Amino acid sequence: MAEPAREDLLPVLAEVRPLEAERAAGEVVRPAVASPAVQAAAVAATGFVAGAATVALARRRAHRRAAAPRRKRRKAANDLVEVVASRSFLVDIHFLGSRD
């Protein structure tokens, strides 16, 4: 059996319809605009869904962080000596105190 053409594998998203005829030179084309109430409802619904997704993501991250096993913290190099001051430029410069 022959392979179908590549165009046959794409989903059909809309009905086939003829293109609109060109407008006359002086005719103004106005796009269809929803009423302000419909726009406000759409914006509110979108904001609600975005907020709910953010809350769900934050809860999931907090739950995963709480469920992760606690690991023993190794002492970092700067825990071994007292760091008196620190200045950051292109590199970190640490001024170390005495070890006693």
**pLDDT tens profile 25-82:** 667 666 677 788 888 999 999 999 999 999 999 999 888 877 767 666 666 655 677 7
| 50 located within any domain | yes
| 44 located within any domain | yes
pLDDT digits (tens, 9 = 90+) for 2-23: 565 566 666 667 787 887 777 7
- Whether pTM > 0.75 for this model: the answer is no
Considering only CA atoms, which of 92, 98, 96 is closest in space to residue 84? Answer: 96
| 13 located within any domain | no
Give the total number of structural domains in the chain.
1
**86, 94 contact by CB (below 8 A):** yes
| 55 located within any domain | yes
**95, 81 contact by CB (below 8 A):** no
The residues, any chain, with a CB within 8 Å of residue 86's CB and separated by 6 or more, are 92, 93, 94, 95
Give the pLDDT of residue 89. Answer: 62
| 51 located within any domain | yes
Residue 57 is part of which domain span? 36-67
**83, 95 contact by CB (below 8 A):** yes
Give the pLDDT of residue 96. Answer: 82
